[in-house]
Structure formats: structure tokens, C-alpha cells
A and B are shown apart, each in its own frame.
Chain A
């Protein structure tokens, strides 16, 4: 009679627990601060380096000499301390971890707010800050308050041009930017079974935009098959008849293409309502929508056509990029006139590779449209990949056709 969080953390909601972690990762940004905190703590030897990962993704390759120096120091620390490093070009931390490392039932912490992405595997995966991460490096464990859980009950099937991102925007709008603060989300119901692993990762990714600690799916045959393809043998998780704090019902058949308008992720309109909005840039990628299915969907729409606005496409990982090359998806994207940047976070956090100028408008497949995030004075609209593709072709926000 327990929620998935209660089962994995081994205590009822509301209790504080100390837990060993299975995997803990930090990136080139938070890793630097964690290393500093560890130094200040006076810790020299790490008890469990095999649980730790450093993954360079936020500003790769380095944009300035300072960034390069900080990355070089962290690279050297990884080598000296025995922490496995995914260096620049390997991809976004959450995507890299989704390619066979994270398994159902694991306790996963990442020094990045979107660590909730990995709840898609039925793991308890949550983000933390750098000093908390340093304590995990030093001990292999951390403390949690076991969260209450809100169920997002999915019925039916996505249809037409709607895709998991539209469903993600729909539940974020439904819950609001703080509707699930300190809670876990569980995506349940018959509708969940029909969503691919890439789609589940998109849905879990945006849990933190409602304030949630994590967004979880129960491992099922989709999970088992995906992980088998990535070299891991796992079993499904059977849901227990547990008590949720509340349940939000969403009928997938009702989902249409949606857009989050500046500057809040929970101000969501039907794409139809904002169609015609002028664009200066389209950005396809990130831990929300930079996976293979996303690039393939984008390529299907732009194939044989030309984009009318500068369009930056960033594969979420080297594996995604390699597959997109092998299947011809990348050639379609390049032939359509898009720029392709190295695997990583790209311009999502406004540091490089597509920063917006004053007054510029970007349609992005990312998860945040906070004011000035991609550049001072820039405006960010968030959409699905199909809406981004249709809009790249016309240069204005455009409702995607059913492909």
C-alpha cells in the first residue's frame, strides 16, 4: 500500500531518511562547486567513487578560457579520484544516464534540477545543489524527506499532431509552477503504457517545473525492452494500491499542440492561439526534447524543405547524434538549412551557442522560458518538436499538420 517513492526510500511520506545512493552525478557547472565544497570539508578519499559520475554538458566545448580552465581542473580531479567522466561531446547528463545506467528502484541524485527526468525508469531521481553533492561524494549517502505523491492519471492515446511534450505542457499548466512543490509525481493509468521511453523521459523531465522532486513511471514492458536495448536486464514494477495526496486526470485524446508563452512555463496556450508570432530563432534539443525520436520527428517535417529562420538543433547525446547520422535523419536536418551543435545543453541556459539578442524571439523545445534566460531582452516560447519544425519552415509560430 505504498507509493513508489515510499517503496524505494523505505519509509512513509513525511519521514526523514538517510539513504545510500546508487548513482550521483554532477556536471561541468555544479561539479566545480561540489569540488570546492569537498575541499573545504577536508575530504581527501572518496568512499564510493564507483557510484559517482561527472558529465560535461552545460558549456561544451568551453566558450572562454575561464570555462576551459575550470573544466580542465575538474577533468583532472575525476582522473585522480576515480570518478567516471563523460567529457564534452558525450551529451547531457540526464540523457547519458538514461542510456543504460539508471535502473528501476535506484536512488539517484544529480546536481541539476532536471534529474527528475530519470524517474521515468521507476527510480527515485531528484536534483540537489553542489554542497549536498559534495556530502554525497564524501559519504555515498544523503538525507531525504519522503515526499507525498500526486498521481497524474493518463487515459487514452495521443493523437493527431500531439506529442508527449504537449502532454507535459498540459500537466504543468494544470498543476502550476508550484503545484507539486515537495511532492513526487507518479504518471499512472492506461495511457502511460502507450508512451515510449523517450516520451516518458520528456514527461518526467518537466516535473520540476511544477516544483516536484521527481516524476515517476512504473517500470513496465516498455522500460524493460528499452533497457534491454541498452544492455541492462530489469524487471517491471507492480503498482500497489496506494494512497495519493490527490489525482489529476488527463485524457490524452484531448491533447492538442500547446505553447508556453513568455515568461512562465505554466502560461500555456493552444498553438492555434499564438500562431503567426514572429520568430528570430528556433531551438530543438535539451534534456526535454533532444532525443532520437525528437530529431526523427523534426526531420520528417523539414525533409525536402528549407527553414525560414535560424534554427539550432542540438542532439542530447553522442549516441543520439550517431543514430541520427546512421539513419539519415541528420542529413535531412542539415539539408533543410539547420545548424547542428555538439551534444549538450546548447543555448538553453543562455551561456553560448544561440544566445538571444534584445527583443529577439525564440521558439524552443526546452523546459524553461524564464525572463532573460536565453539572453537579456529575449523572449522564449516553449513547444513540441513538431510545432518547432512547422514553425522553422514558416518563420512564425505554426500549428503542425498531422504527419
Chain B
């Protein structure tokens, strides 16, 4: 599983309230979450997400278990999320909705060209290669299927 895109660099401890605020949760319209992603962090960010790779620091996606956070990023067209470390519910949610998540410690500048290969276990930023922590077999299988729903359907 591979991806490529320009980097959007974020800091440590980006919580799921910042990714999608509580006031936007009560809908089934996924485009609403994509439209308001990161609104309280930087209202201009949502417009830059399509095709981008988010590169965060430590504890990415901490806080609420709200799955709208990972759905917002997927619906906005984010190619993948690289972080030094992830909060565990966010990490599992991302895999479950088919959003690639890559645990790696990289040096990042906004707009840098980021490429990743989950199977081979690396991330490249402007051509410099960093090792990525491998995912469990089951997580790889779920991601490869496109998320837990398609994984379930194929498995049954």
C-alpha cells in the first residue's frame, strides 16, 4: 500500500476535537466533516487536504473516540497520516475506515514531497527515507481491503 502527496505538518497532541469539533457530529452527511476538518486549528486547512499527507508529531488523534475524525480526513481526500506516535483509538479507527496511517519519526516542512510504502515499511520526505513501524498482519489486511466494512464483506 503506497501513497504520495505534499506534506501538511502538524504538531504534537492533535486531539480529535481539533480534527472535527463536537458541534458538527450530529449528521450522517460525511461531506460536512470533510468541510469542517481542522476548523478550530486553522480554517484554511480543509481546503488543502485533498491529496495531501498529514505529518504530525506525537500522540496524533488523542481524546474522543469519534470516528468522524478519521472519516473527515478520508472524505477530504487525505492520502495518509504519518506521525511519530498515534493515540490508539484513532489509529485503529483510521485502519477501519481505510485511511493509511504510518508510524514514523520524520523531519518535515510544509509542502515537502512525502511518499510512503506500508508494505515495504518506509516513508520518504523530499527523497530522504525513514523507517516506518510495521503494522500487525490483521491491520494490513484490513487496510488492503479498504477498511473493516469491505474486509468483513470479503471474509464472510
Q: Which residues of A contact B (CB under 8 A)?
A: 16, 29-30, 32-33, 36-37, 40-42, 59, 63-64, 66-67, 70, 111-113, 127-132, 134-135, 138, 143, 145, 177-178, 181-182, 211, 213, 264, 349-351, 368, 370-373, 376
8 contacts between A and B (CB under 8 A): A30-B66, A32-B28, A127-B65, A129-B89, A131-B96, A178-B59, A351-B23, A373-B22
Stretch at the interface among B48-56, B110-118, B121-129, B147-155: B147-155
How many of B's residues come within 8 Å of A, CB to CB? 39
The one of A16, A134, A211, A372 that contacts B21, using a Cβ cutoff of 8 Å: A372
Complex A-B, nearest 5 residue pairs according to Cβ-Cβ distance, in ascending order: A129-B93, A178-B59, A349-B22, A131-B96, A113-B65
Q: Judging by beta carbons under 8 Å apart, are A131 and B26 in contact? A: no
Which residues from A are CB-within-8-Å of B46? none
Known contacts A63-B26, A372-B17; 10 additional CB pairs below 8 A are A30-B66, A111-B65, A113-B65, A128-B92, A129-B67, A131-B97, A132-B96, A135-B148, A177-B62, A371-B17
Query: What's the minimum C-beta distance from A54 to chain B, rounded to whole angstroms?
Result: 16
* Smallest Cβ-Cβ distance to A43: which chain B residue: B152
Cβ-closest chain A residue relative to B148: A131
A67 touches B26 (CB 8 A): yes
A129 touching B92, Cβ below 8 Å: yes
* Residue contact A177 to B59, C-beta cutoff 8 Å: yes
Q: Across the interface, do A211 and B62 meet the contact criterion of CB distance under 8 Å?
A: yes
Set B15, B22, B58, B65: member contacting A129, Cβ < 8 A: B65
Alpha-carbon distance A90/B27, docked complex (angstroms): 23
Shortest C-beta distance, A275 to chain B (Å), equals: 27
Contacts A16-B136, A368-B63 given; does A128 touch B87 at CB 8 Å? no
Q: When the two chains form the complex, which single residue of B26, B97, B136 contacts A64, counting CB atoms closer than 8 Å?
A: B26
Across the interface, which residues of A come within 8 angstroms of B85, CB to CB? 178, 181
Q: How far is the CA of A110 from the CA of B26 in the complex (A)?
A: 19
**B108 CB within 8 Å of chain A:** no
Chain B residues with Cβ under 8 A from A134's Cβ?
148-149
B13→A132 contact, CB < 8 A: no
Contact status A129-B96, CB under 8 Å: yes
Partner of B15 from A37, A130, A370 at Cβ < 8 Å? A370
What's the minimum C-beta distance from B135 to chain A, rounded to whole angstroms?
11
In the assembled complex, how far is the CB of residue A14 from the closest CB belonging to chain B, in whole angstroms?
11
Contact check, B68 vs A135: say whether CB atoms are below 8 A apart: no
A372: nearest chain-B partner, CB-CB = B40
* A351 with B148: CB separation less than 8 A: no
Contacts of B65 in A (CB 8 A): 30, 111-113, 127-129
Closest CB in chain B relative to A47 CB, distance in Å: 13
B48 to A: closest C-beta gap in Å: 20
Whether B63 and A370, one on each chain, are in contact in the complex, defined by CB atoms closer than 8 angstroms, is: yes
Residues of chain A within 8 A (CB-CB) of B58 are 178
Known: A16-B136, A128-B65. A350 touches B23 (CB 8 A): yes
Given A129-B89, A131-B67, A178-B58, decide whether A351 and B28 contact each other with a Cβ distance below 8 A: no
